[in-house]
Amino acid sequence: MSRIITYSPAYTVVPTYECFNRCSYCNFRSEPGTNSWLSLSEAEKKLLSLKNQGIIEVLILSGEVHPKSQYRQAWFQLIYDLCKLALSLGFLPHTNVGPLSRAEMNKLKQVNVSMGLMLEQITPKLLETVHRNAPSKIPHLRLQQLEWAGELKIAFTTGLLLGIGETVNDWKETLEAIANIHQKWGHIQEVILQPYSPGNQEIWNGEGFDINLLSEVVAIASQILPSDITLQIPPNLVTKPEILLACLENGARDLGGIGPLDEVNPDYPHLHYQALVKVLESGGWQLIKRLPLYSKYDDWLAINLKDIVGKWRMKLSIDG
């Protein structure tokens, strides 16, 4: 009998690539003031074209506007409106746009079924290297998001970025921090183990994470994290099928959002669906769709969100 691996059929909407952080490994950002922001009409046109194509999740992923910028409110309103638009068209929004205030998180809860923020690594030494020019990567700011998400009953995704100058002990400390916060609130759905993969836009000349070590990280995470947190690995960044399968054997159970483009890693396209299924079947795994909200968190939703999630759950059960 096949074992189950899940993924979310997703499409990424980017309000803006502009970002006040300058992480030296980034292949996503553009300089503030150099690009126009996405308009609601552009977003609506694109999302309408995706209707009836199997997309469930709309991931709102954005460059960050400084908390004290005169444009912060307009940026936040655009994110809120994009989530509302996605909901109105029958999609399930999941927002990951960097650190937010508690009030901003509380407002976005009204139009998101789940939210996320990568911890990356909590060691402060990275503030002297790859995060030297990235004020929102200060570890306590990101840990605060996880705490607030728990307090506000927001189902949450976080994760580690691997291969940016950290050590094995740093992995363990970051995983333990996640475990401790989850044990308090019970709100973390998934932890992503994301190998840093070099691209064309970065200014750092790092070599990237040794992908041969990824299954070891999965094993460590499986030991440290509570069993009700799902471990996620991005299949487009795991270029060797045997390593992908080894990660699954060590406890990874989800492949994240799979869509036309990985906006954070544009140099690494996803395998064609059928090719990915073939790799998984060779290891005795069955790939199935999931929603961006795990069912145990349905009761945390406002009634309007609960209704649309219920319709999706019914559809998936009928589609098999």
- pTM exceeding the 0.85 threshold for the entire prediction: yes
pLDDT tens digit sequence for 235-255: 988 989 999 999 999 999 999
Q: Report the phi/psi class of residue 67: left, alpha or beta, with left for phi > 0 and alpha for psi in -120 to 50.
A: alpha
- The amino acid at residue 39 is S
Cα separation, 124 vs 133, whole angstroms:
13
DSSP 112-146: -SEEE---B---GGGGGTTTTT-GGG-HHHHHHHH
Domain boundaries of the chain, sorted by first residue: 3-319
DSSP E strands, the chain: 3-13, 57-61, 92-96, 114-116, 156-162, 188-195, 230-232, 254-258, 285-289
Cα separation, 20 vs 32, whole angstroms:
7
DSSP 302: -
Q: Which class for 208: exposed (0-12), middle (13-18), buried (19 or more C-beta within 10 A)?
A: middle
Residue 241: which residues within 8 A CB-CB, separation 6 or more? 279, 282
SS3 label, residue 11: strand
pLDDT tens digit sequence for 93-121: 999 999 999 999 999 999 999 999 999 99
Q: From residue 288, how far is each of 147, 184, 247 by CA, in Å?
A: 31, 30, 17
pLDDT tens digit sequence for 155-192: 999 999 999 999 999 999 999 999 999 999 999 999 99
Q: Which two tokens stand for residue 121?
A: 């690594």
**CB count in 10 Å sphere of residue 219:** 17
**Span 3-319: which CATH code?**
3.20.20.70
Residue 231 has φ and ψ, to the nearest 5°, of: -90, 130
Q: At what angle do helices 72-88 and 303-319 cross, to 10 degrees?
A: 50
pLDDT tens digit sequence for 115-153: 999 999 999 999 999 999 999 999 999 999 999 999 999
